[in-house]
Structure 1
């Protein structure tokens, strides 16, 4: 994070100061969540390796490990979007970041879902969500690219 000067801090409204405090608090909480998630991921992999139960070709192992990895990636992306708010002084989180986080969450769900135990309608809904989020991300990205070109 970039350091805010006293002049910049004093120029902020009360709400903007509150917003900055919330973002910093959330950043700390997310950092703790990432550390705990990484600890659990490493512990799970090491325990499985030592116990001889780690088989990356086993579907259940793959689901567990990559589900945990995606949890960390989602938390990191959320943290990055908060850092953008503090560094660039945007009042709101960028729409692209929110869409990307939602897309990552749906992809994580696809990875951890047991395809044999879930009804086809749920898979269709998840697929539609990925398609819709992908289209919205493309539209927002395209709009942002056009605005930057001006």
Structure 2
């Protein structure tokens, strides 16, 4: 027979598993969705196409160059009003970002509903470099005469 192992203060017994209710697990993704929907509702109600409602992009104002976010509010306004063509014309990268958010949010919601950790597969540094390169390429191309279709 073996004797039980004595636990030292350095090795306490494992903590019992804590069960978290579904409402508590779903609160973060649902709260995030509520905040995003509130932002889109505001932009949908206050037209960014009318001057004076939102501040002007400082990069555009002082340099005449479009930043990667220029046209993002007009794009969100068009999405709220169901005009995908206008949304893509205002800022195609923003529409891609809205779609990516929707996918990642749905995965988060499903994982939370199943009681799994919120984080799934983590992007590697190469993925972040690719995203940064895509944003930089989008910014450069939309400021060239040949890329005027990407300008807001």
Say yes or no: TM over 0.5.
no
Give the alignment's TM-score, normalised by structure 1: 0.39
Higher helix share: 1
Give the alignment's TM-score, normalised by structure 2: 0.39
